[in-house]
Structure 1
């Protein structure tokens, strides 16, 4: 019996190591390529460890365009979307979780249906409407279409439903208003879920390429993924080392955000699983 348990643990460990390799290898390859010379990127079979670390690739990527401007645009758009989403999904999730009103099931179903509609299907009417409002080539054109999130409402609703009704009744007996219950009870209890959603939202919109490409035509409001896309050709040769250096600049804020949010993410999954 003891040997079977040891064998199961070994198999589980091997499986976890394989998963780590599958997900870590593309990132490791990107980092390795970003530090190579251009001839080294063409070698087959490829070398994982560069012979000479070309840190100048990052400088070349940075000066290939107004990278600081792209980064500020990406931060503005991602933060603006996240703030608006928090302002909309928290009260909506609370209403769907704690209230029963006529048509609540139908309305929640309509919210869930929006998860099935890809952005590529609705971008044309949204583009035309933003054009009428003269918002193209502005940050608002990249923020307003994502001011709410059906996934966020669903995720937070499930978390709010797990809060005991007795706790809310006790707060109401103490003359607490609904907004006080939301801010002082519901939000603190759902902090891991909110942190998880915030990270997912930040990653999705920080990496978004399609929407900024459609809604902008100049550098005024263009974001970092579009700036990276410009590092494609130089003198007719694909500069993969410089391109990968640009991608490393792109993913660094995501890694930093994940580092600070990982504990909350683990708590969110553990909390949901226990309940």
Structure 2
């Protein structure tokens, strides 16, 4: 291929990628723009990304004062961290057993994992709510964490990764006298950090942004998660304060953006090595 053809192909590829990036960034750009506008500026007939009046200070002040933003962020961190740690503790041994151990029920367990991927939380929400109500578990971290402690997606993701680990490495560890628990802790986990990081991104983003389940089991503002806290900006009489709402949304989404940018390399490695395709 000639140099001109390669240059044209690169320009086309970069143009398509740039267009796709702009499409995905458009909501965030509008969110940043709206966070700096006055209420009258938001509902004007003309569309403009640059505010006519800069209301960043007022909107962010409202966002920080109307709700306990620190408490919302703290609850989000605690819930996501507890869910992630328990999910990894359960999913890693399960995936290792299915990938490297020989037993009769391995195929049946794989079928159950695949079936588990098809069951949404909405299908089990009602019986779970009734169960938590019976034991007095509503309005607690337990209600927010317990339904998500077993992740079939995590088991499936780690299973694909562990299959790529050479069996000779496992056999060598057994010859050295390691137990299966020791192999998981000292051989599997150190080599599985790319997959763990990729799963952590999926898990944290999903549960940080989850509104459906906290809306069902939480009525006490002290246990509200970040998405649930955004509902407190709604006012039936005065209308929604979109400027403060977008400012609060920026504060809540910033930790996710920062975490993804910091873990981007490991995330790509984990997705590539587990064989998942977008």
**2:213 equivalent to 1:211:** yes
CA deviation string 1:180-200 (max 9, x = no partner): 211222112111111010011
Equivalences for 1:6-155 in 2 at 5 Å? 6-54=7-55, 55-155=57-157
Measure, in 1, the Cα distance between the counterparts of 2:219 and 2:34: 31
How far off is 1:162 after superposition?
Answer: 0.3
How far off is 1:6 after superposition?
Answer: 2.1
Equivalences for 1:127-206 in 2 at 5 Å? 127-206=129-208
Count matched residues: 274
Cross-structure match for 1:263: 265
CA deviation string 1:113-152 (max 9, x = no partner): 1211111111011111112221111110010100011111
The normalised TM-score by structure 2 is 0.94
Give 5+ residue unaligned stretches, structure 1.
none
Equivalences for 1:226-241 in 2 at 5 Å? 226-233=228-235, 236-241=238-243
**Does the 8 A contact of 2:96 with 2:184 survive in 1?**
yes
**Does the 8 A contact of 1:138 with 1:220 survive in 2?**
no
Measure, in 1, the Cα distance between the counterparts of 2:128 and 2:49: 45
CA deviation string 1:26-45 (max 9, x = no partner): 10110111011111111233
Measure, in 1, the Cα distance between the counterparts of 2:228 and 2:29: 23
The normalised TM-score by structure 1 is 0.95
How far off is 1:247 after superposition?
Answer: 0.6
Measure, in 2, the Cα distance between the counterparts of 1:271 and 1:107: 23
CA deviation string 1:6-57 (max 9, x = no partner): 2221111111001110111110110111011111111233111223332221
Measure, in 2, the Cα distance between the counterparts of 1:150 and 1:9: 40
Measure, in 2, the Cα distance between the counterparts of 1:180 and 1:101: 20
Task: Report the RMSD for the aligned CA atoms in angstroms.
Answer: 1.6
